[in-house]
Amino acid sequence: MHFSRRDWKNLSEQQEKHARQLSTAVARCCSYKNRFQDILPFDQNRIALEEGKDDYVNASLIDGISPYAPKLIGALCLFVYVVESG
């Protein structure tokens, strides 16, 4: 597939517009639970825990890759003290 500069610019602008609509506010409030401070789940697709003191875990639902692909959960390994305090 070949993209012209105009096609690439349009695609980049659409991605930037979409990215500005995404929020990581919940993850920033629980920063001590994130192994890396620059890898955060978007609020719109993060996995919320059903048990425990709060519902935050750094994990996201990955869906819509293809009609044949299963839904997946992408997550970072938790710190030991996060698991124990949960």
Residue 76 in contact with residue 35, Cβ under 8 Å? Answer: yes
* Alpha carbon separation from 39 to 45, 58, 76 (Å, rounded): 14, 9, 9
Q: Residue 44: name the closest of 17, 62, 31 by CA.
A: 62
Average pLDDT over residues 51-60: 84
Q: What is the pLDDT of residue 68?
A: 92
Of the pLDDT bands very low, low, confident and very high (cuts 50, 70, 90), residue 2 is confident
Which of 55, 53, 71, 51 lies closest to 63 in space, CA to CA? 71
Average pLDDT over residues 18-32: 79
Residue 1 has pLDDT above 70, yes or no: no
**pLDDT greater at residue 2 or residue 8:** 8
Q: Which pTM does this prediction carry?
A: 0.58
Quote the CA–CA distance of 30 and 64 in Å, as a whole number.
27
